[in-house]
Amino acid sequence: MENFILYEELGAGRNSVVYKGRKKGSLNYVAIVCTDKAKRTEITNHVRLSRDLDHPNIVSFYEWYETSSHLWLVVELCTGGSLESVIVHDGSLSEDVVRRFGWDLVKGLKYIHELGIILSDLTPAKVLLDGSGILKFGNFCLSKADGETLEEFFALLSTSVETGGEDSEENFDDLRKQLQ
C-alpha cells in the first residue's frame, strides 16, 4: 500500500473503512477499501467474481493488497454515494429518475447474469452512484457463480460467518433461505 496516498475517509462499516485515495504518480482518484482479515473469504470471493467485469453499471475493480492485519481493495471511486442515501435524503424520486435507475439496474444485472454470476445481498445501501448519477453494483462478497451448488457456496462462506449466538445463526439461515 506504500504506492497509494489515502485522503479522507468516505465511510465505514463493521469490518471495513473506505477512503478516497490515489496511486502515487497518477491523477486518477480511487476508492480504497480497508477490510479486516477476518473477512478474507468474502473479499477473495469478491475479487474472484469482479476482477474481470467491465460494464458501466459495475464498479471497476483495479487491484488488491494484503498487509499484516488488513486486506485492501482498490476500486472505482463512486462519488454519488449509495442508492439508499439518495432515497433517504430525497424521500421520493421522480418517475424519470426511477425509470433511469431501473434501467441501470436491469443493464447491470443482465450483464452479470449473462456471465453466470448470481448477485446476492442486494440492498439499496450496496448500489452506488458515480458522479454522473449512474447506478453501479459493487459488492460481490456474497455472490456466487452459476453452477456452484449452495453447499459449495455455503462451505466457502461458512469459515467466515460470524458465530456466537442465535442472532448469527438466524442471520445465516435467513441468507440461506434468500438464496434458495
Please report which residue ranges of 115-149 form alpha helices under DSSP H.
none
Residue 121 appears among annotated catalytic residues:
yes
Contacts of 8 (CB under 8 A, 6+ apart): 19, 20
Q: Which candidate, 75, 61, 83, 62, places its Cα nearest to that of 135?
A: 83
Listed in order, strand segments (DSSP E) in 37-101 are 61-66, 70-76
Q: Which candidate, 71, 67, 62, 63, places its Cα nearest to that of 16?
A: 71
The active-site residue out of 121, 146, 167, 173 is: 121
Grid coordinates representing 137?
A: 453494483
Alpha carbon 78 to its chain's center = 12
The residues annotated as belonging to the active site are: 121
